[in-house]
Amino acid sequence: MSEFSHISEQNEVSMVDVSEKQPTKRQAIARVKVILPEEIAKRLREDGFRTPKGPIFEIARIAGIMAAKKTGELIPLCHPIGLDHADVKMTLEKNEVIIICSSSVFAKTGIEMEAMTGASIAALTIYDMCKALSHDIRITDLELLMKTGGKSDYRKEAS
């Protein structure tokens, strides 16, 4: 196991210096689940995933993309990067909304936190839009599925 990259030799929190790194194409995919009570999932299907607040999936998609773009502002030691692409897709399987956020950039660092932030905020947006129907909504299983570019690549093994 390697050392934490955000701790200096003096054992202080530190932003990683990426000034000497070469840019590479980086891509990441993250997933999260929003588990709805069955009666809420049924009602949303019947209503075409619309509430008085608007179309749930479209608003969550926009929120996720916006959040991915702002990751460097939200997470203290994350480098601000200009995303080349971010996308959020959602599907409803029984009573679970599966959210997949993908992001890419040509840069010296980053991209997995952007995908995870986008997925997280999309999930929280769904919660916000559905909480009037029920507070018994769970957000679970936020995970990085894949990252390429940089020092090492990662792919989650199938479970």
What's the pTM value of the predicted model, to 2 decimals? 0.91
Domain boundaries, the chain: 24-149
Residues classed as catalytic: 128
Q: What DSSP string runs through 105-139? A: EEESS--HHHHHHHHHHHHHHHHHHHTTT-S--EE
Q: Please tell me the predicted confidence (pLDDT) of residue 9.
A: 75
Residues 27 and 147 sit within 8 Å (Cβ to Cβ): yes
For the segment(s) 24-149, the CATH number from 3.40.50.620, 3.40.50.960, 3.30.70.640, 3.40.50.720 is 3.30.70.640
In angstroms, the CA 34 to CA 27 distance is 24
Give pLDDT tens digits for 52-105: 889 999 999 999 999 999 999 999 999 999 999 999 999 999 999 999 999 999
